[in-house]
Structure 1
Amino acid sequence: MIKVNGQKYDYQEKKLLELLEEQGHRPEMVAVELNEEMVPREKFPETVFHDGDVVEIVMFMGGGAR
């Protein structure tokens, strides 16, 4: 099991890019932390999860000051 944004998933041995696509995220619009370390976007296709990993996905939002 891994934990993604506080939710448990049976997702070990799969790749980060697969998770993002399955959850409907656009890789260019998110930042990802794996076990408290930022994952560079170019590493998304090769980053594999292992049992006990903790993933945080942060989405960029548009907007600005008024």
Structure 2
Amino acid sequence: MRAHSNTAIGNSESPKVITVSINGASRQFPRAISIAELIEEMGLTGKRIALERNGEIVPRSTFAAQQIADGDRMEIVVAVGGG
């Protein structure tokens, strides 16, 4: 029996690292995740935030449905209260 790799050239199912820019810093993910998962991973769940993806404001109501994609550029602003 011969060993072989599951990552054949041209295999669309081969794993791909997703690289996105978040507030100017490059971050990598082993798979596509939703914006909601990204927010959770960053510890921002429940916080008042505004998120821009590739120049477009993303409504909070769509965070769970939208997947990040390789090359996305995101800006995340956290509202801070004070006086």
- TM-score, normalised by the number of residues in structure 2: 0.70
Distance 1:26 1:15 in 2: 13
Q: Which has the higher helix share?
A: 1
Matched with 1:38 is: 57
- Specify every segment of 5 or more residues in structure 1 that has no aligned partner in the other structure, as ranges: none
Matches for 1:10-21 after TM superposition, within 5 Å: 10-11=28-29, 13-21=32-40
- TM-score, normalised by the number of residues in structure 1: 0.86
The CA RMSD over aligned residues, in Å, is 1.4
- Specify every segment of 5 or more residues in structure 2 that has no aligned partner in the other structure, as ranges: 1-18
Q: Following TM superposition, by how much is the alpha carbon of 1:28 offset from its aligned partner in structure 2, in angstroms?
A: 4.8
Structure with bigger gyration radius: 2
